[in-house]
Amino acid sequence: MNSRPADLDRALITRIEGREADALSELYDRHSGRLMGLCQRILGDTGEAEEVLQEVFLWVWRSSATFDGSRGSVLAWLLVGTRSRAIDRVRTRRPAVRAGLRSVETVPDTPSGEDVEADSVSREWEGLCRSAIAELPENQRRALELAYFDGLTHQEIAERTGTPLGTVKTRVRLGLMKLRDLIRPYVQRSPTDA
């Protein structure tokens, strides 16, 4: 297959709109690993993560027509849909059940040989993003992780970390700005894949 990954994904979405179950199956095989990783990271529970993963692909089956290629890649669309569903679940839990934050270093690595996403463009993008995240100052990275993976507001992050509210706001803003500056060169090369 010579098609670019983004083109292949968009072709699959078109086939899914045509009610081809095989296309959904192929999309699942291409991206379920990454989406499951995101669910697992947010929810900290394999059973719930798998339920959300299934919900996401059922949503893709029902709502593929709402995908707008001008606003980004299929993968970005899937990540947004997955994260919002997982965060909604976290928010409906009672506080005692909420999963605690796990930083990047404590999350178990991918099982060896997992070919959950094998294309080199995605690997290059992921490698660049991980390097960029690793370059963030620890306090900025932690604030961003609490917001993105735990869905916490500024106020909640301040309470969780015992940090003044104004400092939290600054850390989140500066963290995203630094991340933007670090990944911008790649985004400018291939904006549709980012």
The first and second tokens of residue 29, run together, are: 């095989």
In whole angstroms, give the CA distance from residue 157 to residue 153.
Answer: 6
- Contact predicate 35/53, CB 8 Å: yes
Contacting another protein (CB under 8 A), which of 98, 129, 139, 192?
Answer: 129
Contacting another protein (CB under 8 A), which of 33, 45, 160, 163?
Answer: 33
Per rule CB under 8 A, is residue 176 in the interface with another protein? yes
**Residues in the chain, overall count:** 194
83 vs 89 by CB, closer to another protein: 83
Binding mask of the shown chain, residues 67 to 106, with x at each position contacting another protein by CB under 8 A: -x-xxx---x--xx--xx--x----------------x--
Environment class of residue 105 by beta-carbon count within 10 Å: exposed (0-12), middle (13-18) or buried (19+)? exposed
Angle among Cα 99, 100, 105 to the nearest 5 degrees reads 120
Shortest Cβ 42–another protein spacing (Å) = 8
Question: Which range touches another protein (CB under 8 A), out of 1-9, 59-67, 93-101?
Answer: 59-67
28 vs 98 by CB, closer to another protein: 28
Per rule CB under 8 A, is residue 173 in the interface with another protein? yes
- Contact predicate 5/121, CB 8 Å: yes
Per rule CB under 8 A, is residue 13 in the interface with another protein? no
Per rule CB under 8 A, is residue 49 in the interface with another protein? yes
- Contact predicate 151/43, CB 8 Å: no
- Could you count the other beta carbons within 10 Å of the beta carbon of residue 95? 5
- Contact predicate 135/153, CB 8 Å: no
Per rule CB under 8 A, is residue 8 in the interface with another protein? no
- Contact predicate 85/55, CB 8 Å: yes
Shortest Cβ 53–another protein spacing (Å) = 6
13 vs 87 by CB, closer to another protein: 87
Question: Which range touches another protein (CB under 8 A), out of 3-11, 31-39, 93-101?
Answer: 31-39
Binders of another protein among 130-159, rule CB under 8 A? 130, 132-133, 144-145, 147-149, 151-154
- Could you count the other beta carbons within 10 Å of the beta carbon of residue 83? 20
